[in-house]
Amino acid sequence: MSRTHSRFWGRTRRAAAIAAATLLLPLFPPPATTAAAQPAPNPVAASAFTPTPAAAPAPAPPAPAPDAPLESYLPAAESTVLVDWFADFDAAAKSAAAAKRDILVAFMGVDSGVWSHRLDTEVFSHPAFAAAVAGKFICVFLDFPRTYRLPDKERAANEALRRRWDVGTLPTLILADSSGRPYAITGYRQTDAAAYAAHLLALQSARERRDQFFAAAAAAGTDAEHAAQLANGLREMDEQILQRHYRAELATLKRVDPQDSTGLLADLDFVPKIKALRNEVFRQIRQRKNSAAALDAVDKFIAKNAPTGEHLQRTLFLKLAVYGGGGSRDHAAVLRLMNQIIALGQGTEQGRMAAEVRARARALLDAEQKRAAEQRKAAKAAKPVEKKPSPPTPSTPPAPPKTPPAPKKT
């Protein structure tokens, strides 16, 4: 069973308009107007030198019949129904299996979360999104409302799938293949509908590469080739997805590659460690307002675990929360940190992110320095020029007092 999803506020506005019309229409009946017919221009007589006649005014819409429903007197409602969303995941999974399509599952809280509401209004309710996902996905909209209650069966099914797929924050979008197996996870992105749809299609292309690598692994003649192809396929997916939904493939990888020559198992072992460090860094910043302790936690983690390569890059990136947030905005420190991360490998995902952050930090630092220079210049121009007092002119020293003449001797 499918359900068409409409925006909550769109329905509310239309209901209010109908209620207002109920009160006002008896007082202001619609006038019956007709438009006069306009003669069609003669295409033969017209030429480049003949002025183009003014376009005929559009005829007024016919007045509704006296017994017409109230909606007939209102403007056409905005088109908010664009994607045919399933509300039942099990029904959607059956449809996806029959159609051989991937499944897009949106865990939403439209009436209780600003990001769910924005994703719904900025992306899901636009024709560009509907056109892009048509024929690509079977779409499922699972709502978790606070201001109203879903039917008990629907609410229980939504909560069960949320627990099974370990979905925390809302909104969360999970992409699954036609068998119902997740392969990608995403959420709100500050972009338009077309760009968001392109983002989902890029995630879907990763699933296609996953399938190609898995097929190559199945056909591999040696354990080394099997491990390489299997690891390539697993790397196409998010680490959070792998740990929960690809345990069989991970067990196979451990069996055919006990030395972990691909490095994938070490990457997965690093995930809970960096997650715990991230929690500690943000706890020090947000709860204790202790930036020094946050930086110290990162340095101690590096000394204890000795991460290398992209693991070290990810660890160092946590210092950005100190230098670039918490009110500090130390752009010079951000530049030094990004240079350190890029030096470890500019071709990695972390290296490319560091290059983008470095460019923004440099622009902010240049703007800050320019603003400071302008302020110093303005302060100097506004300061009155103090006249230096002229040095005192030397005065003639007073003549010494005359001594009285000595008395004459008689």
pLDDT in tens, 121-179: 999 999 999 999 999 999 999 999 999 899 999 999 999 999 999 999 999 999 999 99
Q: How far apart are CA 365 and CA 336, in angstroms?
A: 12
User: Alpha-carbon distance 50 to 54, whole Å?
Assistant: 12
pLDDT at 66 (0 to 100): 47
Contacts 24+ apart (CB under 8 A), 78-81: 78/10, 79/127, 80/6, 80/7, 80/10, 80/125, 81/4, 81/5, 81/6
Q: Which of 74-88, 155-169, 196-210 has the lowest mean pLDDT?
A: 74-88
Report pLDDT for 2: 44
Q: What is the CATH number of domain 263-378?
A: 1.25.40
Pairing status of strand 102-108 against strand 172-176: antiparallel
Question: Quick one: pLDDT at residue 38?
Answer: 36
Q: Mean pLDDT, to the nearest integer, of 319-334?
A: 79
The structure's pTM equals: 0.63
Residue 72: enclosing H or E segment and its boundaries? none
Residue type, 203: L
Q: What number of CA atoms fall less than 13 Å from residue 266's CA on the CB side?
A: 14
Per-residue pLDDT band at 222 (split at 50, 70, 90):
very high
The 10s digit of each residue's pLDDT in 12-41 is: 333 333 333 333 334 334 444 333 333 333
Name the DSSP letter for residue 68. -
Residue 396 to residues 67, 393, 399, 400, Cα–Cα distance (Å) = 118, 10, 9, 12
